[in-house]
Structure 1
């Protein structure tokens, strides 16, 4: 049977987006190494069992079997062993059956007949053995045809990590038409802010759109902004070019000159040391020259640690007597909803709601995740007529914030962008809908009406994971037009600022504060 993770699944920011930062796929070799490091009873050497003291004799025979199974499984991923057509088709059967059962409206953006043609062609292409990566490249664009942002097949990043110790240490930004070179952590001197024209002699935009087709955006079957996620970009480059040691990049610099640059694959371990990963996911600093606090939140985590961070941060803001607060969620793909409620209670004393309504599909998988039986769910809602497949509509009422000792009463500015998704859209839409603050930056990546609350599943034969949303959420003042939250001031990162290491959006906001909240002397981005 295929495995359903339900409650045990760790919520990922593609959903409450992910979910993802991503759920990472652990290869069996990683599990094996963890067991060995933990001193687990896993194998015999020279006829002597290496067992923990609390292991009984019954476990010894199992230990002899366990390690060879793990090693064989690990070799499947590392050596690129191939899946047979019947295995892949069985995985596809489970994939589409699960989507139909869990998704509130699988055909919201495409007809059953049209998607059926995509699915038929996919099954027809499964006619020879394929590696996991090859299987992923075929299936993921078909899933994306459903145009549901939180519905996706997760890339086999574990295969990438297991087979490649080097990565291409570049960062890209998508300006809506072109890929802009944003970062380079390698030794090469690259023209930051330049437009990427070619990769290894191939048109760069064609390659970017191939990457985009592996991931849907709400109402769209492609998401070119996915290249701004460094982990996905590195994986997609490996997926396209394998274990290449170099890439030839043709770049048009800001002065209009075109040239070729060779980028060498960089050791992943060294890259990890160079890249500021911000493991805490949240930070705060005071900018005394602007009498402003700057808070960065890169993931909404439903943890006591995040709650404590908020408590201490707003106490510090109070002590500093800051007149302005900037909250940067441009790189926040989502997380959990409760932390959004927590911070809003520090920002307003007026009633608010983070959603207008939520539509939830009742499925076996949904109930398993919530730990309830159908009978218990019926009793909870007081409706004995509820059956599997029914969509329950919940209208959300205004809530009055609880009193907070250090509630902020100054000017609030929230920075948003294309990587602002899921629970972060929930936050941004509430800020705008209830006039709590001013939004600066780019339109959010997720729409204000979108499917979410994703559950994760695993395909039995390939081991690939996929996420399926179980709810349709209407954010505060959300509209069913496929658009994200529109900022009050639309500001794009300028290529010339990228070259100079200047954050265009943040600097615009600081200038806005300096000018007393007006834009009379500020040049908006084109």
Structure 2
């Protein structure tokens, strides 16, 4: 969520602390962990402490940031539980502690923080991976899917190339049960829920395995099936699929015109850096659908981790909306800088309503007038949740897929804070947005639940198209609506 597309009516809740903003300075813009564009990065001076432990020093910084930057940390974590988790971080006065060792300790806070925008991580996991591969390092050889019950299945070779092993369940890695490995890795993953964290681990298994268990040149992997003897397999030097896809417009966005007057519009991110390129693509897509007489549109946002709201507010909604809409109803934000013109004082917490509504252009020549279905998944997040909320709450589309993974009410305006003692970083949100329809439902929940097959992602698309086609043929009102 990069921009606040609204004017606010505000009330003010002020929270006391001792000059929490004095140590914070802007250093640069940063590309985020969930592919959210344009986060602000901050550095903090180490707080005074008598402990020689780098962990204790950065724990103090985390405590300070949670109190002085988050608008309401209890949004995702009970304050007593957070205090207990911070106190449980071991105070290790080891002068030679590596950054990886520090991460192994501090990242255990992430499931406790329970928010995809509030976590401890590396300054850039992408750069971390790039440097590792550049230096001749290797990674786990497969892209995988981690199910909600902890099972791990092969999806493809690392990087996305097909493998005949796709669909096979991995039973063990280097003599360790995969369930044991999964449970350990999930202790370091961030996100709103266990389901979300399993989805995120699926995309970054190679990263978390590397950081927790190391990166050997070979793996002994046990698979299910007729041949159950573990097999020695070489590690991979391929660029992981999640990173490679970010560089390709065609892997992020696509339009597929299908038979029976249907189409699939894939939107895998809203973080594409060239907004005009996306809007040109979207305009062309809706024009093509109009020429093809498309009556059923599926928007696939299952893998969309968010980004800049402008992409969907200016590139998608103008072709779908048939009534005035807004993308949220209320907000709570932490003021970072004093602004006399707005009557804002750094450090205060403001809450209010979002009063800006967008009105569709009645002369829009390529408005889509058919049925719209939005596919959501375990890791649909951030701005993509705002998009799904808007589509659902104003009746612009039907949500289909998996739910109970991320909150409808989203945090945002993420700030990156350096943890100077360990070289790690803390991400913390500065605002919280309530959906257009208000606090109706905690989790983002589909109108129609269909399980996502990570090995065959097209299965959900086919299921929706089959139902929509049958309804059109019978002339019945679609039960998916």
Same fold (TM over 0.5): yes
The yes-or-no answer on 1:358 pairing with 2:331 is yes
Change in 2 beyond 3 A, CA 1:129/1:153: same
Structure-2 residue corresponding to 1:377: 342
Structure-1 residue corresponding to 2:222: 250
Structure-2 residue corresponding to 1:323: 295
The yes-or-no answer on 1:391 pairing with 2:350 is yes
The yes-or-no answer on 1:149 pairing with 2:121 is no
Contact 2:327 / 2:435 at 8 angstroms: preserved in 1? Answer: yes
Report the Cα offset of residue 180 of structure 1: 3.7
Point out the more displaced range, 393-402 or 99-108: 393-402
Distance in 2 of aligned mates of 1:127 and 1:149: 30
Contact 2:196 / 2:405 at 8 angstroms: preserved in 1? Answer: no
Point out the more displaced range, 467-476 or 243-252: 243-252
Change in 2 beyond 3 A, CA 1:492/1:468: same
Change in 2 beyond 3 A, CA 1:11/1:473: farther
Larger proportion of helix: 1
Structure-1 residue corresponding to 2:63: 96
| Cα deviations by residue, 1:333-373 (Å, 9 ceiling, x for unpaired) | 000122222211210221222212111122xxx32xxxxx3
| Cα deviations by residue, 1:264-295 (Å, 9 ceiling, x for unpaired) | 211236x6799666611643334342322221
Structure 1: 5+ residue stretches without partners: 25-83, 368-372, 520-526
Residue 279 of structure 1, aligned match among 233, 242, 248:
248
Residue 423 of structure 1, aligned match among 383, 387, 391:
383
The yes-or-no answer on 1:347 pairing with 2:347 is no
Structure-1 residue corresponding to 2:460: 505
| Cα deviations by residue, 1:461-516 (Å, 9 ceiling, x for unpaired) | 43322211011111233547642x22222112348xx3xx5621111122123213
Distance in 2 of aligned mates of 1:493 and 1:117: 36
Structure-1 residue corresponding to 2:166: 192
Contact 1:246 / 1:264 at 8 angstroms: preserved in 2? Answer: yes
Residue 266 of structure 2, aligned match among 293, 296, 310:
296
Change in 2 beyond 3 A, CA 1:266/1:478: farther
Report the Cα offset of residue 19 of structure 1: 4.9
The yes-or-no answer on 1:335 pairing with 2:355 is no
Distance in 2 of aligned mates of 1:276 and 1:124: 40
Please state whether the residue corresponding to 1:376 is helix, strand or coil.
helix
Contact 2:245 / 2:252 at 8 angstroms: preserved in 1? Answer: no
| Cα deviations by residue, 1:211-236 (Å, 9 ceiling, x for unpaired) | 2222332266982222222xx22111
Aligned length: 434
Residue 97 of structure 2, aligned match among 130, 137, 140:
130
Residues 23-42 of structure 1 correspond to what in structure 2 (within 5 A)?
none
Change in 2 beyond 3 A, CA 1:263/1:4: farther
Distance in 2 of aligned mates of 1:274 and 1:300: 15
Structure-2 residue corresponding to 1:62: none
Structure-2 residue corresponding to 1:9: 29
| Cα deviations by residue, 1:105-144 (Å, 9 ceiling, x for unpaired) | 1234444343223222215245553111110110011244
**TM-score, normalising length: structure 2:** 0.79
Contact 2:150 / 2:183 at 8 angstroms: preserved in 1? Answer: no
Please state whether the residue corresponding to 2:73 is helix, strand or coil.
coil
Distance in 2 of aligned mates of 1:310 and 1:177: 37
Please state whether the residue corresponding to 1:409 is helix, strand or coil.
coil
Q: CA RMSD in A?
A: 3.5
The yes-or-no answer on 1:215 pairing with 2:189 is yes
Distance in 1 of aligned mates of 2:141 and 2:311: 33
Change in 2 beyond 3 A, CA 1:282/1:268: closer
Please state whether the residue corresponding to 1:266 is helix, strand or coil.
coil
Structure-2 residue corresponding to 1:18: 36
Contact 2:402 / 2:452 at 8 angstroms: preserved in 1? Answer: no
Distance in 2 of aligned mates of 1:346 and 1:197: 47
